[in-house]
Amino acid sequence: MHDTWKSKKLWFAVGVIVFAFAFAVLSATVTPTLAPMFEQFCGVLEFVSAAYLTGNVANKFVAAKAGAAVAEAPAPKVATSKKALEATPPGGPRIPED
């Protein structure tokens, strides 16, 4: 439960709701000239929220697919035997000069 409070999507959604509520209160009390624009304002907020959430879900989907592909790749073999470690000179293997 503790991890859900760290969710960026949750706080983004809460911020959008608070912003829409504040706009509604302001247009109803302080600046009534904003009232006709409330419908367009809510449409813009819906569009931005949908774009953010869709991008977030798509990012998680791609990351999950990439993570699965990386996890399936075989790990490179590393020499662990004592004989192989002793045969390697200090500084790595020598590269022959042409």
CA 83 to CA 62: how far, in whole Å? Answer: 43
Q: Average pLDDT, stretch 56-84?
A: 70
Residue 79 pLDDT more than 60?
Answer: no
* Average pLDDT across the chain, whole number: 75
Residue 94 pLDDT more than 80?
Answer: no
Do 61 and 17 contact (CB within 8 A), yes or no?
A: no
What total number of domains does the chain contain? Answer: 1
Residue 1 pLDDT more than 50?
Answer: no
Q: Does residue 21 belong to any structural domain of this protein?
A: yes
CA 28 to CA 35: how far, in whole Å? Answer: 7
Q: Does residue 42 belong to any structural domain of this protein?
A: yes
- Model pTM score: 0.47
Q: Which residues form the domain of 18?
A: 7-87
Do 46 and 38 contact (CB within 8 A), yes or no?
A: no
Residue 33 pLDDT more than 60?
Answer: yes
Q: Does residue 94 belong to any structural domain of this protein?
A: no
Q: Does residue 37 belong to any structural domain of this protein?
A: yes
